[in-house]
Structure 1
Amino acid sequence: MTPRAALLVLLMLLLHPISALAHALDPGYLELSAMGGDRWRVTWRMPDLGGRPMAITPELPTNCTADAPPEPHFDGRGWSTAYVATCPGGLAGGQIRIKGLENTRTDTLVRYETAPGKAVTQRLTSGAPDFTVPEDPGRLEVFTSYVSLGVTHILEGVDHLLFVLALLLLVRDPRRLLWAVTAFTLAHSITLAAATMGWLDLPSAPVEVVITLSIVFLAWELAKPAERRDQLAVRFPALVSFGFGLVHGLGFAGALREIGLPRGDIPMALLSFNIGVETGQLIFIGVVLTLGWIARRLLPHVLTASLWTNRVASYAIGSMAAFWMLERLYAF
């Protein structure tokens, strides 16, 4: 077996546990929908961990009472249950906590309505597993909450980050790289807004497959010598990144639809989420460029062989993307 083939076999053996780990670290989701009066419909979703619900439990404000929730059912990826809680006086000023979250490595998204149509989303982590519901959530709370969600989504979205990484490796000219990243940003902002506002509606399954195909395409180009690459990708990388960015924006929109938007502040929440996505993307690019600069100083002789390093990176990125593509096709 050649070293190249051995590397590919090793990567494929590692991909399954990586995928399983990603599923286990999906965030929990708690939604409290106001039904009028003092009643809230509680929807609680726990990540799957080894075929069982993760051991985390929501604790509502002390003024809330509810019957024992029904046994959760498995929906193919997580465990869900729903029930009704009565909270005399409302949620404002009360504490919402996810018991057991401090013992995990995952997050929980809490979406609550202080009144019908007035929704706010809060992200809880193992380091901050509870929060106090503010008396009157303002625009600043909406802004900071959705910026945080956007940053978290992009930094946890390994497929989107692999696309950006492949783009950084493929386009070495700083000016063209700047235009390519800008085009990607503009494109996914357009489809994110259009899909979130309901102007564009596509099923998520094929969108997720095309996202992985975009990564495979860049990895395939990265594996070739510069003179054999697709001339469209070489001469106009911004055009290619714009086209694929439209698809990635639909993936961002799917995540935002799951989180939900406050009806009274949809433009603010949409803008904030997009700012968060861009902030996370810039953080990732900055880290990659910094690591690349350090590596060139420490290993100048190894990294001067750009074709060799490009091929190693392309096989790793392409193999992982191809695995995800097959996994998502199987999910059809």
Structure 2
Amino acid sequence: MTLRTAMLALLLAVLHPILALAHALDPGYLELSAMGKDRWRVTWRMPDVSGRPMGITPALPANCGAEPPPAPHFDGRGWSTAYVATCPGGLAGGQIRIEGLENTRTDTLVRYEMTPGKAVTQRLTADAPGFTVPADPGAFEVFTSYVSLGVTHILEGIDHLLFVLALLLLVRDPRRLLWAVTAFTLAHSITLAAASMGWLTLPSAPVEVVIALSIVFLAYELAKPPARRDQIAVRFPALVSFGFGLVHGLGFAGALREIGLPQGDIPMALLSFNIGVETGQLIFIGAVLTLGWIARRLLPAVLTASPWTNRAASYAIGSTAAFWVIERLQTF
């Protein structure tokens, strides 16, 4: 019992900082919407840190001028403000930078329009807090930008990663695991494309609740002895992962809608974002399997007692997901 309690405490200790730092690790968001006549509407959103805006500030190209922006207001998760900037000659060739980003652990999405309706998205990080606006972003810039956004979204999407982790723990047969992961990938690719193109529209709040419930379901099955688990989940895990993958794809699409798609390169941006999501997912799966292999070599006696290790993991994962269900229900 002491060892079980220690393992459960360790898992909860790992998950707790993730929940506690969720708001601080949210990305910043800067949008420059072209209004014509060298004018841009600037929307700036900062993450919340202990009830205050994070200490980051956008610096527009040197040819841009604007009145002092109004004080930011809290929208329940971050701090937002908006104003109009005048940039004679346009944005091309100028540098956009987020001052103070180099001192944080977050990133910032910059969405800008050279002309009305033609948006491009750029991700800035602590290592690269600024960039020079290209005169005419080509297909390669769109591809690399959206692949990077896809990788970042999946690796920062703790709920999606917990679902994949629970799937890895639940399905021990390598062949069935391969089919389950493939089905999950195929399913969320379908709904990601359909929702991003506007063919399928659902409110985000219930989608986020069902995503959390999908994790609770897997955690519940993981807590039970193998002989008592749902036979559909045991014999056809690919079917279960496909069904829940459809819902997770809607969650990915919600994030992509917030980022925006360049009107002239929608297929390229959509494909690139999906490639990024799959790349991040494979990175995570590879890391989990590698850590599992190392753990089996270092602690073979502990990890052979799989029933209680699975139960400890299921309680940690399930408790976290149940908390998300309650939290997300409050947004209805």
Which category of TM-score, normalised to the shorter sequence, fits these structures? over 0.9
Change (3 A) 1:62 1:144: same
AA in 1 matched with 2:136: D
AA in 1 matched with 2:97: R
Displacement of 1:331 in angstroms is 2.9
Aligned to 1:136: 136
Aligned to 2:43: 43
CA RMSD of aligned residues (A): 1.8
Aligned to 1:74: 74
Write out per-residue CA displacement over residues 68-90 of structure 1, whole angstroms, 9 at most, x where no aligned residue: 11111111111111111111111
Aligned to 1:89: 89
Q: TM-score when scaled to structure 1?
A: 0.96
Displacement of 1:8 in angstroms is 6.8
C-alpha distance in 1 between matches for 2:14 and 2:293: 28
Aligned to 1:249: 249
Aligned to 1:276: 276
User: Is the 1:28–1:107 contact (alpha carbons within 8 Å) kept by the matching residues of 2?
Assistant: yes
C-alpha distance in 1 between matches for 2:60 and 2:140: 24
Matched, 1:115 2:118: no
Q: TM-score when scaled to structure 2?
A: 0.96
C-alpha distance in 1 between matches for 2:9 and 2:107: 33
Q: Indicate the SS of the match to 1:328.
A: helix
Aligned to 1:235: 235
Displacement of 1:254 in angstroms is 0.6
Matched, 1:183 2:183: yes
Q: Indicate the SS of the match to 1:33.
A: strand
Displacement of 1:20 in angstroms is 3.3
AA in 1 matched with 2:324: W
Displacement of 1:14 in angstroms is 8.3
Change (3 A) 1:294 1:186: same
Structure 1 segment 3-14 matched on structure 2, within 5 A: none
Displacement of 1:15 in angstroms is 6.5
C-alpha distance in 2 between matches for 1:279 and 1:13: 28
Of the structure 1 ranges 303-312 and 143-152, higher mean CA displacement relative to structure 2 is found in 303-312
Write out per-residue CA displacement over residues 14-57 of structure 1, whole angstroms, 9 at most, x where no aligned residue: 86664231111100000001111211111100111111111110
C-alpha distance in 1 between matches for 2:100 and 2:234: 50
Structure 1 segment 91-240 matched on structure 2, within 5 A: 91-240=91-240
Q: Indicate the SS of the match to 2:21.
A: helix
Write out per-residue CA displacement over residues 254-301 of structure 1, whole angstroms, 9 at most, x where no aligned residue: 100110110111111000000000000000000011111111111111
C-alpha distance in 2 between matches for 1:135 and 1:230: 57
Change (3 A) 1:99 1:268: same
User: Is the 1:117–1:264 contact (alpha carbons within 8 Å) kept by the matching residues of 2?
Assistant: no
C-alpha distance in 2 between matches for 1:251 and 1:60: 31
C-alpha distance in 2 between matches for 1:253 and 1:43: 21
Runs of 5+ in structure 2 lacking a partner?
A: none
C-alpha distance in 1 between matches for 2:13 and 2:136: 51
| Equivalent residues, number | 332
Q: Indicate the SS of the match to 2:34.
A: strand
Aligned to 2:290: 290
Return structure 1 stretches of 4+ with deviation > 4 angstroms: 1-17
Write out per-residue CA displacement over residues 163-198 of structure 1, whole angstroms, 9 at most, x where no aligned residue: 000001111111111110000000000111111111
Displacement of 1:114 in angstroms is 1.1
Write out per-residue CA displacement over residues 108-146 of structure 1, whole angstroms, 9 at most, x where no aligned residue: 000011111221111001111111011110000000000
C-alpha distance in 1 between matches for 2:98 and 2:181: 38
Displacement of 1:7 in angstroms is 7.5
AA in 1 matched with 2:63: N
